[in-house]
Amino acid sequence: MKKATFSKLLLAFLLVFSLVLTACSKDGDKAKDSGDKGDKKTEEKEDGLYSIEDFSNTKTNEGKAIEGGNLNYGLVSDTAFEGTLNWNFYDGNPDAKILDWFDEPLLQWDVNYVYTNDGAASYETDAEVSPAVLEKLPAEQAAEVKENGVTITFKIRDNVNWHDGKPVTAEDWAFAHEVIANPKYDGVRYGDITNVVGVEEYHDGKADSITGIEVIDEKTLKITYKEQSPSLLTGGIWTYPLAKHIFGDMPVDKISSSKEVREKPIGFGPFIVDSIVPGESVVMKKNADYWRGEPKLDSVTIKVVNPTVVVQALEKGEIDTVSEFPVDQFPANAKMSNVEYLGAIDRAYTYIGFKLGSYDKENKSIKPDPNAKMADVKLRQAMWHAVDNDTVGKKFYHGLRWNATTLIPPSHPEFHDATNEGRKYDPEKAKQLLDEAGYKDVDGDGIREDKNGKPFVINFASMSGGDTAEPLAKYYIQAWKEVGLNVELLDGRLQEFNTFYDRVGQAGDDDPAVDIYQGAWGVGIDVDPTGLYGNVMFNFSRWQNDKNDELLAKGISKDAFDVEYRKEVYNKWQQLMVDEVPVFPTLYRAILVPVNNRVQNYSIEEGWNEKQDIAVTSEKALKAK
Amino acid sequence: MWKFSLRRIITMIPQIILLSIVVFILAKMMPGDALTGLIDPNIDPSTIEEKREALGLNDPWYEQYANWISGVLHGDLGQSFKFKMPVSELVWQRLVNTFWLSVLTLIITYLIAVPLGITSGRFHDTWADRIITGYTYIGFAAPLFIFALVMLWIFGFYLDWFPTGGSVKPGIEPGTLDYFMSKVYHMLLPALSMALISTVSTVQYLRSEIIDTKQKDFILTARAKGASESRVYNRHILRNSLLPIAAFFGYEISGLIGGSIFIENIFGYPGMGQLFLNSILLRDYSVVTALVLLFGIFTILGSLLSDIVLSIVDPRIRIK
């Protein structure tokens, strides 16, 4: 009797609840209808799915631009920005987004991430290694540098000046290297410049100056690098000068906290920092002396916007565009009438890795274990075949993340092998591979035992964060169960970010309890994957393979200056990773950036840096209808 | 009273030392450190390892603690790894923001609480009382972060009456009247959101205290003497009913100094609560320990303040 009342109550409750829900969805429909008039290219495909191909990465211009105007840029972050506003010292992403507006690298790169000669400086590779540098080196090292090294001559344009009117000089560029190599330097960029001849000696206090850097005249600089490789020209050069006339007399460990970095930062970009409210906003005015020409906008206001209110701020026209947009909020706001969404492929992928060894901290080397639980390549292949990432992308991310095929994401169009399909979803094949490998269901409970007929449990480490983390992990576990593998969440729960990376081995202390893990990598602008899959700490799967070493070395060899050759090498490498599966990529991702309709000449294309051309068509941003 | 205050402050010292040790150990037990967030293939792992060594993160905790505490005794709270600036400067920046937000919140809280409490206590079991208690129940039930989001949406975005983030309009010269007005304007909505929720407990305390006092014998005496109704309420009842509120005053202040993590995050208001949460997430140990130390000191000072205020409001309480 009691039960009946309870179920009645429950029914009543559900009814009320569903009424509320329908009421809500009605409202939603209405909003959609009114938005239809200002419809954009963002078309909805079957069942609310989207595709990155429907987005442009450059803003379409509408109307006529006005003189001047102010652009409001929302820095989307739930934390205050750190305010280390100098390229040589920053390490937070919000700071970088602010830096982009008032300072820039001396060398610009193109869509393939290769340095061009269109930037504030141009470069030319010398025919041979600078004799002046070789002279100063001990004979043995000189021979080595002569053989493998390269000298590059940089010329800074004459009209490139700091915001205070002083020219940007070769001295400033050399000074940046000296500061970074200084043992008291408190930033994280030292690893970026160790390829310069003499930097290590300077860092260790064995030399008073950096041998490899020669200041030829005010605007000309020669830098000699130890290793010549194609990677050098895709992000291997430190291109951010440091104003010596300002920071020259400052103790190196005091620069990052100085007024000239935090309150009145200096650069040579299109805008000049006017005022800063620490942690929340920055106002910039135009730099009339900008070397690419006077900016069209009068000013730019950057302020921190919490991700929870970013949609409202955009609808209200409080901000014109944002540093990043939470893609999961897109489907509900796809029809926002006052913005155009720009899209690009993120330089990142999500992946699942298999633990195949451990890290030897003493020798700084990975230590593969041939007897690891996941050591059988067929097991790993089967686990890839067992998951349907296409559906995952559609169901969890509305198509804004999609099935990944290889470990070089399509954000690197030159090197991503589009013909390589990875391993497709094929549970039958997965079962067959497992049978072949000897993982058979001995006791008939639907779960496979290991090769010796013992119970076989795989521990899966996955990170918490976001609404999808848990259902996603559950989906994978379910998918593996369908082919008969018993996968369990490590400790029965998701791992918090810090714990996750500690246990996976970010400091080399791998937790042996982890068998497989789900992580994500943002990849550098250089395609070379050695930093993730070579003999390095971040090779979390601790996988080692001679063929892999060989291909990685070939990819950055002198021969690889020939793009076709390099492509071939990386195609082979992508296939090797599909064959060996030390990790497998699961999803590629889209970046979406809404931009108010009044904004012109805005782009999120890689290497785009024409901020002086940005203009607006009205004083105030347009509001959503 | 001075003797009492001095004694309280002296006994506070070992408490704070103990607190700092506990906090330090707990902070070290958290997985990861300030450099974990730098997992990025573009940054050389050996650079990270070098930084770790330079920051002393590989030393045993007692050595790190000794280093830190000796710095604190010299007035140096250390350097924030994340912000690359002295902790004392960083905390000061945020403390100013939080302090003014707290003052405004307190003022609004009492502005709401006292009249509502008195009305509902004096006319209890009337419609006015029912409405007020109804409000307090809703206040108790409404989670602050949802309430704040709703407030932000209605008054900030929909009606457009208030700014929706930050502590001041970008680009105003500090020190001018405009700057001050803009600061107050930016604080109003977060302060109001917080006050509307946090005031409900004070309303309830006041109400039940007034109802309680109303029935005491000395009120009967006062009425018998022929004191007017308003005199009875304002002088006799109210003063006696303020005791619990006064007792909470000091704690309330220390609570507010800690900032509201929810409010500050939702309104993008850079204050102590936001700083504290982020420092924990980013494992910026020097900031975390400095903040906990600060919160500890404020809590102890707050309770001292409560005692003193109590002795002023109620002369029967003597502190020795």
Q: What pLDDT, on the 0 to 100 scale, is given for residue A3?
A: 44
Q: Which of B85, B100, B118 is the last residue of a domain?
A: B85
Tokens for B65? Answer: 């603690």
On the question of pLDDT at A11 being above 60, the answer is no
pLDDT beyond 90 at B8:
no
Whether A283 contacts A101, CB under 8 Å: no
Domain total in chain B: 2
Please give the average per-residue pLDDT across B98-123, as a whole number: 88
CB contact under 8 A, B82 and A82: yes
CB-CB neighbors (< 8 A) of A79 in chain B: 274, 278
Q: For residue A180, what are its two tokens?
A: 């970074």
CA angle A168, A173, A178 (to 5 degrees): 140
Average pLDDT over residues A175-180: 94
Query: What's the alpha-carbon Rg for chain B, to the nearest Å?
Result: 24
Residue in chain A closest to B276 (alpha carbons) equals A79
Look at B83 and A84 and tell me if their CB atoms are within 8 Å: yes
Give the residue, B82 or A270, on which the prediction is more confident: A270
Q: Is the pLDDT of residue A18 over 60?
A: no
**Average pLDDT of span A322-348:** 89
Report how far apart the first and last C-alpha atoms of chain B are (Å, whole number): 6
Mean pLDDT of the region B94-109: 87
Confidence of residue A160 (pLDDT cuts 50, 70, 90): very high
What residues does A522 pair with on adjacent strands? Answer: A348
Residue recorded with tokens 């935090």? A262
SS3 readout for B198-218: HHHHHHHHHHHHHHHHHCCHH
Q: Residues A498-509: what's their mean pLDDT?
A: 84
CA dist B190 and B160 (Å) reads 14
Residue in chain B closest to A503 (alpha carbons) equals B31
Judge if B239 and B290 occupy the same domain. Answer: yes
Whether residue B248 sits in one domain with residue B113: yes
Answer yes or no: is pLDDT of A21 > 50.
Answer: no
Residue A135 dihedral angles phi and psi, to the nearest 5°: -55, -40
How many inter-chain contacts (A to B, CB under 8 Å) are there?
Answer: 147
A237 touching B (Cβ < 8 Å): no
Same domain, B173 and B299: yes
Which residues make Cβ contacts (< 8 Å) with residue A395, sequence separation at least 6?
none
Alpha-carbon gap, residue A252 to A489, rounded angstroms: 47
Query: Can you give the pLDDT at residue B88?
Result: 86
The domain of B38 spans 2-85
Q: Are residues B120 and B237 in the same domain?
A: yes
Indicate the burial class of A162 (C-beta count within 10 angstroms; 0-12, 13-18, 19 or more).
Answer: buried
pLDDT at A458 over 90: yes
- DSSP for B127-138, please give it: HHHHHHHHHHHH
- Of B212 and B311, the structure prediction assigns the larger pLDDT to B212
Sign of the torsion formed by the C-alpha atoms of B244, B250, B251 and B256: positive
Query: B152 and B169, same structural domain?
Result: yes
In DSSP notation, A392-412 reads HHHHHHTTSEEE--SSS-TTS
Q: What is the mean pLDDT of residues A556-561?
A: 85
Contact across the interface for B36 and A521, Cβ inside 8 Å:
no
What is the SS3 assignment for A108?
coil
Q: Are residues B288 and B223 in the same domain?
A: yes
**B6 Cα to chain A: minimum distance (Å):** 37
Q: Give the whole-angstrom CA distance, residue A258 versus residue A179.
A: 14
Greatest C-alpha distance within chain A? 99
pLDDT digits (tens, 9 = 90+) for A111-127: 888 899 989 999 999 98
Nearest residue to A557 via CA among A548, A569, A544: A569
Question: Which secondary structure element, helix H or strand E, spans residue A450, and what is its range?
Answer: none
As to burial, measured by CB atoms within 10 angstroms (0-12 exposed, 13-18 middle, 19+ buried), residue A404 is buried
Residue A2 has pLDDT above 60, yes or no: no
A383-397, A505-519, B30-44: the lowest-pLDDT one? B30-44
For residue B284, give the CATH number of its domain: 1.10.3720.10
How many angstroms separate the CA atoms of A290 and B314, rounded? Answer: 69
Predicted local distance difference test score (pLDDT) of residue A81:
86
Q: What pLDDT is stored for residue A22 in this prediction?
A: 39
Do B72 and B101 lie in one domain? The reply is no
Q: Answer whether A472's CB lies under 8 Å from A503's CB.
A: no
Put simply, the answer to whether A305 touches B32 (Cβ < 8 Å) is: no
3-state DSSP percent of chain A in helix, strand and coil, to 5: 35, 20, 45
Selecting from B32, B47, B167 the residue whose C-beta is nearest the C-beta of A280 gives B167
Question: CB contact, 8 Å: A78 with chain B?
Answer: yes
List the one residue out of A268, A281, A263, A313 whose CA is nearest residue A94: A281
Residue of A nearest to B280 (CA): A498
Going by pLDDT thresholds of 50, 70 and 90, the confidence category of residue A15 is: very low
Q: Are residues B153 and B302 in the same domain?
A: yes
- Same domain for B311 and B248: yes
More confident residue, A509 or A345: A345
Band (pLDDT 50/70/90 cuts) for residue A102 is very high
pTM over 0.90: no
pLDDT band per the 50, 70, 90 thresholds, residue B100:
confident
- What is the reported pLDDT for A1? 39
Mean pLDDT of A573-591: 93
B45 or A573: whose pLDDT is higher?
A: A573
Tens of pLDDT along A216-267? 999 999 999 998 888 888 888 999 999 999 999 999 988 988 889 988 999 9
B10 & B128 share domain: no
Give the mean pLDDT of A53-80.
87
- List the single residue in B31, B164, B167 with the smallest CB-CB distance to A502: B31
Compute the nearest-CA separation of A89 from chain B (Å).
Answer: 9
CB contact (8 A) between residue B268 and residue A280: yes
> Per-residue pLDDT averaged across B228-251, rounded?
79
Q: Measured in whole angstroms, how far is the alpha carbon of residue B123 from the centre of its chain?
A: 32
Q: Is the pLDDT of residue A575 over 90?
A: yes
Residue A530 has pLDDT above 80, yes or no: yes
CA B146 to chain A, closest CA, distance in angstroms equals: 11
Last residue of a domain, one of B85, B100, B124: B85
Same domain? For B103 and B231 the reply is: yes
Spatial separation of the C-alpha atoms in residues B166 and B264, rounded to whole Å: 9
Q: Once rounded to an integer, what is the mean pLDDT over residues A327-340?
A: 88
For residue B320, is pLDDT > 80? no
Please tell me which residue of chain A has the smallest CA distance to B90.
A278
Q: Report residue A16's pLDDT band, with 50, 70 and 90 as the boundaries.
A: very low
Q: Which of B62, B85, B108 is the last residue of a domain?
A: B85
* Band (A30; pLDDT cuts 50, 70, 90): very low
Alpha-carbon span B141 to B129, nearest angstrom: 18
Tell me if A92 and B152 make a contact (CB, 8 A cut-off): no
Are residues B34 and B176 located together in one domain of the fold? Answer: no
Nearest to A498 among B32, B79, B171 (CB): B32
Per-residue pLDDT tens digits for A353-411: 999 999 888 888 888 888 888 999 999 999 999 999 999 998 888 889 999 999 999 99
pLDDT at B259: 62
In the predicted model, what is the mean pLDDT of chain B? 82
Contact B41 A191 (CB under 8 A): no
